[in-house]
Chain A
Amino acid sequence: MAQKKISIRIDGELVGATEGMTILEAAEGAGKEIPTLCHMDGLTAVGACRLCVVEVAGIGRLLPACTTPAQDGMSVTTVSAQLTRYRRMVIELLLVERNHVCSVCVSNGHCELQSLAKSLGVSSVRYPYNYPRLPVDLSHTRFVLDHNRCVLCTRCVRVCAEVEGAHVWEVTNRGIKCRITSEMNQPWGSASSCTNCGKCVQSCPTGALIEKGFAVEEMTKRHENISALALAKGARP
């Protein structure tokens, strides 16, 4: 069945799209960049981080571009003072929630949270830092889960379920107690369903999931390969 062609306006520019596309897909198709963090090509969109919020004419609240379907005739604004303000707030709230100590992080210089903070001009944080005491799971032979650096984007949960098919990762608890946990909240090293593939590590945007044996600034990640694999299997971008 041929998909219906639609047209929407993005920042005033008329953009062609097909029915079923999200605003993010339509915008990217038109060469527009909307900042994202929890989004990863090839994985189901969940709208967890709220960085990709956009304004839609006639709707009184902001909508996440990654989960909102583009509709014929829609008028979308992706750049505005209000959006920048909210996107900065999102980054600042992520920074205060846990302990993101860049200077001692293996992902320093290769971290998506860090580069978003830079590109959005977050030079300091207006909220009081939370400084929670969080564990680091070193039980896996090859990998580490550091809750201090987790932003709960759930890319690891999705890549493990959707691409690897192992379903090791889950989200446990809610709100400030929310944690990524492996296999019924057991230490990662004892998770018998883990195939040690490392897709979660490569997909993690920060230094929360890392490979052992790397020092500060040494861990670079390549999730593009995983996206390509997922797309080859027929996933949506």
Chain B
Amino acid sequence: MNRLKLATVWLDGCSGCHMSLLDIDAAIIDVAGKADLVYGPLVDAQEFPEGVDVTLVEGAVSSQEDLKKLQKIRSRTRTLVALGDCAVTSNVSAMRNGLPVQKMLQSIYIEGVSAAKGVPTDGVPALLPQARPVREFVKVDLYLPGCPPPAKAILGVLGDLLAGRKPDSSAKLKFG
């Protein structure tokens, strides 16, 4: 049997969804028995590989880097899962959306600090005008909202995908 190629990615989120993924506890051993984690914050791979079966996307699309990453991921992934409220609705990441980017950076990095004033530019990607949900940029195959999504819901979806079933996340819907 072919092992499932699983990837995770962390865009504009807090990594709480990844924490919730780790919260599936011992079940992670079963998952590891059936799938290879080929990319994500939990492994070392530098380049998103081709032919990934399932990618769990945490976080909203907030920067040009997020967008480029997401487009590459979409083109190389069969089933793309929007994991958590930030990926699904933009959630807390979108709370900056009412402010123009320059004004927001100014108020945080210049007006908001007493020392080392200055907007960081070195090694950080340019922000998009607003943080927006994943589905506004690419096709999403499955939504798993929640802040974070409960570990059981993540495991349910992973279990379905690993077994080749079509996952149904609607019964376990949770926002916030």
- Chain A residues with CB under 8 A of B174: 118
Is there a chain A Cβ closer than 8 Å to B155's Cβ? no
- Chain B residues with CB under 8 A of A125: 89, 133
- Chain A residues with CB under 8 A of B90: 129
**Cross-chain contact B132 with A123 (CB below 8 angstroms):** no
- Shortest CB distance B168–A (Å): 10
Whole-angstrom distance between the alpha carbons of A114 and B94 in the complex?
A: 18
**Cross-chain contact A114 with B175 (CB below 8 angstroms):** yes
**Cross-chain contact B176 with A129 (CB below 8 angstroms):** no
Q: Which of A212-233 contact B (CB under 8 A)?
A: 217
Closest to A123 in B: B143
Interface of A is mostly: loop
**Cross-chain contact B94 with A99 (CB below 8 angstroms):** yes
- Shortest CB distance A106–B (Å): 11
Q: Interface extent on B, as a size class?
A: 20 to 34
Is there a chain A Cβ closer than 8 Å to B123's Cβ? no
Is there a chain A Cβ closer than 8 Å to B92's Cβ? yes
Q: Which of B66-103 contact A (CB under 8 A)?
A: 82, 85, 88-92, 94-95, 97-99
- Shortest CB distance A126–B (Å): 8
**Cross-chain contact A123 with B136 (CB below 8 angstroms):** no
**Cross-chain contact B173 with A102 (CB below 8 angstroms):** no
- Shortest CB distance B136–A (Å): 6
Q: Which of B95-148 contact A (CB under 8 A)?
A: 95, 97-99, 130, 132-133, 135-136, 140, 143-145, 147
Interface string of A77-108 (1 = CB under 8 A from B): 00000000000000000010001011111001
Is there a chain A Cβ closer than 8 Å to B64's Cβ? no
Is there a chain B Cβ closer than 8 Å to A237's Cβ? no
Instruction: From known contacts A109-B176, A124-B135, A124-B145, infer whether A132 and B98 are also in contact, taking CB-CB under 8 Å.
Output: yes
Q: Which of A103, A126, A133 contacts B85 (CB 8 A)?
A: A103
Closest to B89 in A: A125
**Cross-chain contact A103 with B145 (CB below 8 angstroms):** no
Whole-angstrom distance between the alpha carbons of A108 and B85 in the complex?
A: 13
Whole-angstrom distance between the alpha carbons of A129 and B137 in the complex?
A: 13
A-binding residues in B (CB < 8 A): 82, 85, 88-92, 94-95, 97-99, 130, 132-133, 135-136, 140, 143-145, 147, 169-170, 173-176
A-B pairs with beta carbons under 8 Å apart, 28 shown: A99-B95, A99-B98, A101-B91, A101-B92, A101-B94, A103-B85, A103-B92, A103-B176, A104-B92, A109-B176, A114-B176, A117-B175, A118-B173, A118-B174, A118-B175, A121-B170, A122-B173, A123-B145, A123-B170, A123-B173, A124-B89, A124-B140, A124-B145, A129-B97, A131-B97, A131-B98, A133-B98, A133-B99
